[in-house]
Structure 1
Amino acid sequence: MTTLSLIGIGCGDPAQLTRAAIDAINAADLVLIPRKGTAKSDLADLRRSICADVLTNPATRIAEFDLPVRDATEADYRRGVDDWHDAVAATWSQTIADHLGDEGKVALLIWGDPSLYDSSLRIARRLDPLPDIEVVPGITAIQALCAAHTLPLNDIGKPFLVTTGRRLREGGWPHGVDTVVVMLDGGTAFQSLDPDRIHIWWGAYLGMAGQIIMSGALAEIGPRIVATRQEARARHGWIMDSYILKRGS
């Protein structure tokens, strides 16, 4: 029987690893490292760096694989995601079979935490054969963003909402909350909002050497974030960012 450990590794800083994450990496017979193309080679490099830094078990092997790409032209978003998850699960299963067989302990290093806007748990349940699954939690991008800005996320006695850039762009400001955390924004969905009385805390490459953070009134800082984001994406070939919006009275 195979055990699959989904290990949250934080947002890029090896110092964010918990002791439980380090123990789980060293308990694995096989560590899988996904490659997401040359434009995102930094992400594979960071996983390699983490393994080089904390892996002390000489019996643990590392296997890299190319991650399938989601078909962005699929008109039905959910169907496109489902097809992509099936392809990723098949790739995981084949890589495990090629390097481990049908028995042993496999580790996947998951950006942030497997519970928050990450599909690893859904994909893991599509593997054939189905392994035992365990999760080692990690620091999320939300925690890293709040820490970078020394910002308490919630106002006293008030709720907040975590959403995506696509939903913010399509639905506008969510009802019933004054604090919104935006993840997985492929662009700058905050531009679709009336910036009056909105403050933004934005961060890209959180926890990495190239971390960028900016904050201020959305009407003033929004255009600067757009320009900075475009420049950073052109320089790196990719960008991972998130932001918090708070609406005042």
Structure 2
Amino acid sequence: MMTLSLIGIGCGDPGQLTRAAIGAINAADLVLIPRKGTAKTDLADLRRAICADVLINATTRIAEFDLPVRDAAEPDYRKGVDDWHDAVAAAWSRTIEEHLGGDGKAALLIWGDPSLYDSSLRIARRLNPLPRIEVVPGITSIQALCAAHALPLNDIGEPFLVTTGRRLREGGWPQGVDTVVVMLDGGTAFQSLDPNGLHIWWGAYLGLADQIILSGALTEVGPRIVAARQDARARHGWIMDSYILKRRP
């Protein structure tokens, strides 16, 4: 049976790789590197750089493939994501079959950790034939964000909630918590909230040379984050960011 190894690589800094991740990369017969279009070539470049830095197994091959794009015009969000996952799984299967066949170990380098707002595990279970799946955990963007701001995530004895920009925009501030972590926000959903009493800790390109962090009262820092985000996206062609909101009396 073919094995598919999903290896968490942190937020792009090779220094965030665990020994287990380095071992899993070298144990693979094939490392898959997805290409996400010309605007996101940095993401493929960073995966190539990680392989060049840690790969010492001369028999491990690297195969690149074009990642299908989700149809953003699909009105049914869940159907759009479901169709996209099917297309990605088919691309993985084709690339593995072409370069590895039905036996051996393939690996994918997963941004952050495969457990947190990442679809790799759901996609892997759609492969045909179904492989044996193993996961190597990695540093999450939440860990990197807290470290960048030297911030403890939870207040003493208090819960927090991890959500997406879409859910925050549609549902407003979640009930029962004073700390919210927001990921996958394509457009500063915090602008939909009443900023009074809210503090924000925001970071983009965490762990990379281009890392940007800003924090403070949302009334003061919010407009600066919007401007910084627009400028960074224009310069790089892509952006990965996340933020923590805390409600203060």
TM-score, with structure 1 as normaliser: 1.00
What CA deviation, in whole Å up to 9, does each residue of 1:204-227 have, x standing for no partner? 001111000000000000000000
Distance 2:209 2:52 in 1: 17
Gaps of 5+ in 2: none
> Where does 1:1-150 land on structure 2 (aligned, <5 Å)?
1-150=1-150
Distance 1:185 1:138 in 2: 21
Offset at residue 198 of structure 1 (A): 0.3
**Residue equivalent to 1:228:** 228
Task: State the one-letter code of the partner of 1:233.
Answer: R
Q: Is the counterpart of residue 237 in structure 1 residue 234 in structure 2?
A: no
Distance 1:61 1:80 in 2: 33
**Residue equivalent to 1:206:** 206
**Residue equivalent to 2:186:** 186
Distance 1:169 1:115 in 2: 23
Offset at residue 61 of structure 1 (A): 0.1
Distance 1:38 1:143 in 2: 29
**Residue equivalent to 1:158:** 158
**Residue equivalent to 1:168:** 168
What CA deviation, in whole Å up to 9, does each residue of 1:148-197 have, x standing for no partner? 00000000000000000000000000000000000000000000000001
Distance 1:88 1:17 in 2: 25
Task: State the one-letter code of the partner of 1:152.
Answer: P
Matched residue SS, 1:96 = helix
Distance 2:228 2:219 in 1: 15
Task: State the one-letter code of the partner of 2:47.
Answer: R
Distance 1:231 1:136 in 2: 34
Matched residue SS, 2:216 = strand
Matched residue SS, 2:74 = coil
Distance 1:35 1:45 in 2: 9
Distance 2:225 2:120 in 1: 30
Matched residue SS, 1:134 = strand
Distance 1:2 1:41 in 2: 29
Runs of 4+ in 1 over 3 A off after TM superposition: none
Alpha carbon RMSD of aligned pairs, Å? 0.3
Task: State the one-letter code of the partner of 2:135.
Answer: V
